[in-house]
Amino acid sequence: MKTTIHNVTTRTAADLLAEAGRTLYGDEWIARLARDIGVSPHTLRAWHAGRLHLSLTHDAVKDTLRLLERRRDEADRVATRIKEVINA
């Protein structure tokens, strides 16, 4: 759910989880993200639908950020290896 205040769109924690989930896992993100952050798919769907409130300080948000950072670090390592091979 997005809220516009003075022409600024703010994103909810659930919006950010959905964006992260799609980035990490594609269209079938709910079950996979739920498993990796230790919540039920039902809970994740309820957050996404706005039926349950999700705080930006909830462990699920922090765990999702750690997953994104780990994926970024892995992608950086692979990109570095590819560049080394190309430049060899």
Q: For the chain, where are the E strands, in sequence order?
A: 2-5, 8-11
| Six token digits for residue 51 | 């039926």
pLDDT of residue 48: 95
Encode the chain (88 residues) as per-residue pLDDT tens digits.
Answer: 555 555 446 789 999 999 999 999 999 999 999 999 999 999 999 999 999 999 999 999 999 999 999 999 999 999 999 999 999 8
Separation of alpha carbons 22 and 1, rounded Å? 16
pLDDT of residue 8: 47
Number of domains in the chain: 1
C-beta separation of 68 from 23 below 8 A: yes
Range of the domain at 48: 2-87
Separation of alpha carbons 75 and 25, rounded Å? 14
| 3-class DSSP state of 53 | coil
Q: Residue 48: beta bridge partners?
A: none
